[in-house]
Amino acid sequence: MNRRESLTALSGGAATAAIFSALGTQIKAAEEEATKSGAKFKHSVCHWCFGNIPLDKFCVEVKKMGIESIEILFPEQWATVAKHGLKCAMGRPRPIKGIAGIGTSFEKKENHDTLVKIYEEIIPLAAKAGNVPQIIAFSGNRNGLTDEEGLKNCIEGVKRIAPIAEKHNITISMELLNSKKDHKDYLCDRTQWGVDLVNAVGSDRFKLLYDIYHMQIMEGDCIATFTKHKDAISHFHTAGVPGRNEIDDSQELNYKGICKALAKMGYDGYLGQEFRPKKDPLTSLKEAIDICTV
């Protein structure tokens, strides 16, 4: 029976009702199966974007949403999130004379001794805290260096702190940031450059923080890129493009599709919401978690 014949044969009312009832059941079952969560990644949020909300109160509110971590926190804040049964998925060191910040870090050899001191202090603190699996790092700005010179300096510097991270089972994660709009002259501004750094350091305890917002601005093609380089990435951040605001349909990225891709590739780390809300902060955060729950 061809398509035309089948439609003719089913034109009777009872038969039509029966077949469409069966089809409806099958479609519903397929939809339910398709929407079952197979994602292993966990939800996190950066507190600085919601800084007007005191951390204690923020902990209470995010737990209601199923968020498991509040991140980019200094060591003195870790106990607060732990008190609420939350992790700090990405800890943050305090710079010394600006060193270890976004603009001044591993790119200069003369910074390396200070960076070793900073990470020698914070890595054991993270291990002792027990709820801080990663510490953020930055490349610093080019400041006249070529990409190759900057890469060589970063390799040398990161290799000095990698053994400390390995000893304490804490991951150092260098953030990929855009140098086109937000962080002019930043060195680690392309995925391949970061991957080259990770490969050269050669430690399981040194990876990349893939910021989807920043890399959409610099490169685009986010899903294909992070899937290709998944072994070099330990963490992800979100935000809407353009504007770094809500991740809803007012911006160009399809975060539902992005999160499905994360789930498909087996990512089991944290996805940190790092957008600046233009609307009610907690409502926007809840909507973001709903979008990213796949």
pLDDT tens-place string over residues 234-269: 999 999 999 999 999 999 999 999 999 999 999 999
Task: Report the relative pairing of strands 171-175 and 42-46 from DSSP bridges.
Answer: unpaired
How many structural domains does the chain have?
Answer: 1
Helices (H), the chain: 3-9, 13-35, 55-64, 75-83, 112-129, 147-168, 191-201, 212-218, 222-228, 255-264, 281-292
Q: What is the mean pLDDT of residues 92-96?
A: 97
Residue 197 is assigned to a structural domain of this protein: yes
- Domain of 227, in residue numbers: 39-292
Residue 282 is assigned to a structural domain of this protein: yes
CB 131 within 8 Å of CB 71: no
Residue 27 is assigned to a structural domain of this protein: no
In this structure, the number of other CB atoms found within 10 A of the CB of residue 239 comes to: 27
Residue with more model confidence, 69 or 2? 69
Here the CATH number for the domain that contains residue 77 is 3.20.20.150
Residue 117 is assigned to a structural domain of this protein: yes
Alpha-carbon distance of 231 to 180, in angstroms, equals: 26
Residue 26 is assigned to a structural domain of this protein: no
Percent of the chain with pLDDT over 70: 87
Residue 177 is assigned to a structural domain of this protein: yes
Tell me the sheet residues that pair with 180.
none
Which tokens is 110 given? 């003369």
- Cα Dmax for the chain: 84
Compute the residue count for the chain.
294
Q: How far is CA 99 from the centre of its chain?
A: 24
User: CB burial class (10 A; 0-12, 13-18, 19+) of residue 121?
Assistant: middle
pLDDT tens-place string over residues 118-130: 999 999 999 999 9
Residue 106 is assigned to a structural domain of this protein: yes
